[in-house]
Amino acid sequence: MLRILARKIFEVLIFLLFITFISFLVVRLAPGDPVLTILNVDELSVNQEQLEALREDMGFNKPLLVQYGLWLLKFFTLDFGVSYVTGQPVMDMILMGLPATMELAAGALIVMVVISAPLGSLSALYRNSWIDQLGRTLSVLGAAIPSFWLGLILIELFGVRMH
């Protein structure tokens, strides 16, 4: 049992490393230069030496694997760096959005406990009845509806209008 658990944990860690590496590559290989974004080149006149100095300072001139390794070390120490766009520490931005995220998660948990769990239990008790059919239909609809679209609809229905 312990061996299976250790193997599963190892598989999850390998999967997370793979996903983070792919995400890191996508961001690094995306069009555009983060150094130009940071310096806001449209408003400033910068020379090539300043660009190279910032690339050196931020580590963008190192090989991708080295950049990923440095990023991973910072990630595990919860040093998420500074946003290229706003210049704010990323951890501050995460903490600023945390209360709203927790509120949404709590709302989803309440819906699950109040609606989904009883409906699932009733579906199990009354197999192949109309209650079971309703539960299956709602489950399929819930899985099929894109969450971003449903969110917009719910905001439109229940959102508070400010005049």
Looking at residue 40, its pLDDT comes to 67
What pLDDT band is residue 156 in, cutting at 50, 70 and 90?
confident
Amino acid at 88: Q
User: What's the pLDDT at 162?
Assistant: 62
Answer yes or no: is pLDDT of 56 > 60: yes
Q: Which residues contact 104 (CB under 8 A, 6 or more apart)?
A: none
Model pLDDT, residue 9: 95
Selection from 11-25, 33-47, 52-66, 143-157 with the highest mean pLDDT: 11-25
Q: Is the pLDDT of residue 36 over 80?
A: no
**Which tokens is 142 given?**
């819930």
What mean pLDDT do residues 33-55 have? Answer: 73
The answer, yes or no, to whether residue 23 has pLDDT greater than 70, is: yes
What are the phi and psi torsion angles at 82 (to 5°)? -120, 140
* Amino acid 7: pLDDT: 95
- Specify the range with the lowest mean pLDDT, choosing from 8-12, 19-23, 65-69, 83-87: 83-87
Do residues 68 and 21 touch, judged by C-beta distance below 8 A? Answer: yes
What is the amino acid identity at position 150? L
Percent of the chain with pLDDT over 90: 40
By the 8 A CB rule, do 88 and 96 touch? no
H-assigned helices in 77-115: 90-111
* DSSP, res 41: T
Residue 68 pLDDT grade (very low, low, confident, very high; cuts 50, 70, 90):
very high
Q: Where are the domains of the chain?
A: 2-79, 94-158
Mean pLDDT of 47-65: 84
Best CA proximity match to 33, nearest among 51, 53, 47, 20: 51
More confident residue, 37 or 110: 110
**Residue recorded with tokens 């555009």:** 32
